[in-house]
Amino acid sequence: MPGPDYLNIVCKIDTSLKALELLDLCQHIEDKQHRVRGVHWGSRTIDLDILLYGGEIHKSERLTVPHPEMINRSFALLPLAEIEPSLELPSFGSLKMCLEQLELSDIEKI
């Protein structure tokens, strides 16, 4: 589904929050930015995803980390590689190996 251009940004943080507490905070920020949860994978004002939570594997009804779709998303893995190029992804293997499996020509670095 085509939509407007958008920015994808990856950041690394240190937190004392538990994984679900971090998810609650991310969703609170999205709500403050008037995120509307309408069309699944549709355009949105803001979308904060937790890709990784340290080296932990977490699966619950509300949160799965590592993010199950991250290895299919060059727009997430490329910026992640800029900050952690030698990263090992729990359940998926090396970030470098995952990137080698993706088409990268649709990404424009600005």
Give the active site residues: 35, 44, 47, 49
Q: How far apart are CA 74 and CA 77, in angstroms?
A: 5
Whether the Cβ atoms of residue 14 and residue 54 lie closer than 8 Å to each other:
no
Whether the Cβ atoms of residue 13 and residue 54 lie closer than 8 Å to each other:
no
Provide the 3-class DSSP secondary structure of residue 98: helix
